[in-house]
């Protein structure tokens, strides 16, 4: 079946098998930030944005993106790097395997929630699993990131050596 969609801002057309999952399809297009984790929609590693909303690509057929806008971390490099700096500064990157899905959800949250509380942040990110940490560093990094964005001094944050 033929689908038309936008991937990271570029219009695309593809011939796909009707049963291919979005995760597999995106990886076949070189979007390697989309990670395979649990394949049961429980860990958040495969998160992408579809029409600016987070979606677990391991549980969605690629056919569902026909006519839609899909964004992976490859399409959000500047924003991902910006927030990733805060993760690194708080020692929250650990092994880094969960970071792409986590970062995608954080970036989606910043567009969806205005000035979220710590409790709202935890609720929004509840579907992201990290086996390396207890999310203390991640939460700290999000709060600092949001504060810097609010104050307009995001560029002042740099990874500490």
Query: What is the pLDDT at residue 54?
Result: 94
Tell me how crowded residue 125 is: count the other CB atoms within 10 A of its CB: 21
Domain with residue 9: its CATH number is 3.10.20.30
104 lies in the same domain as 67: no
82 lies in the same domain as 98: yes
Distance CA 136, CA 128 (A): 14
State which of 58, 74, 90 marks the end of a domain.
74
Closest residue by Cα to residue 83 from 11, 146, 20: 146
Domain with residue 124: its CATH number is 1.10.150.120
55 lies in the same domain as 93: no
59 lies in the same domain as 88: no
67 lies in the same domain as 89: no
Tell me how crowded residue 150 is: count the other CB atoms within 10 A of its CB: 11
Query: What is the pLDDT at residue 155?
Result: 59
Query: What is the pLDDT at residue 53?
Result: 94
93 lies in the same domain as 108: yes
13 lies in the same domain as 60: yes
Tell me how crowded residue 124 is: count the other CB atoms within 10 A of its CB: 19
State which of 74, 91, 126 marks the end of a domain.
74
Ramachandran angles phi, psi of 37, nearest 5°: -120, -95
The answer to the question of residue 115 being in a domain is: yes
Residue 7 burial (10 A CB sphere; 0-12, 13-18, 19+): buried
In angstroms, how far is CA 37 from the centroid of its own chain?
14
20 lies in the same domain as 62: yes
Q: How many domains does the chain have?
A: 2
Query: What is the pLDDT at residue 134?
Result: 66
Domain region containing 20: 2-74
The answer to the question of residue 161 being in a domain is: no
- Show Cβ contacts of residue 65 under 8 Å, excluding neighbours closer than 6 positions: 3, 5, 22, 50
Distance CA 150, CA 44 (A): 26
**Mean pLDDT split into 10-residue runs, the chain, 161 residues:** 98 97 97 88 89 94 98 95 89 77 91 91 83 77 90 61 43
Cα–Cα–Cα angle for 37, 41, 45, rounded to 5 degrees: 40
């Amino acid at each position: 079946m033929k689908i038309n969609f936008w991937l990271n801002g570029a219009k695309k057309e593809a011939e796909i098998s009707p049963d291919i999952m979005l995760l597999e399809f995106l990886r076949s297009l070189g979007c390697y930030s989309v990670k395979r984790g649990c394949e049961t929609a429980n860990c958040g590693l495969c998160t992408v944005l579809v029409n600016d909303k987070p979606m677990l690509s391991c549980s969605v057929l690629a056919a569902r993106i026909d006519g839609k806008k899909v964004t992976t971390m490859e399409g959000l490099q500047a924003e991902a790097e910006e927030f990733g700096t805060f993760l690194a500064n708080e020692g929250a990157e650990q092994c880094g395997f969960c970071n792409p899905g986590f970062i995608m959800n954080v970036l989606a949250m910043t567009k969806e929630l205005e000035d979220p509380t710590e409790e709202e942040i935890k609720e929004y990110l509840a579907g992201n699993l990290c086996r390396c940490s207890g999310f203390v560093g991640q939460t700290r990094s999000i709060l600092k990131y949001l504060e810097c964005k609010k104050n307009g001094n995001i560029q002042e944050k740099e990874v500490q050596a």
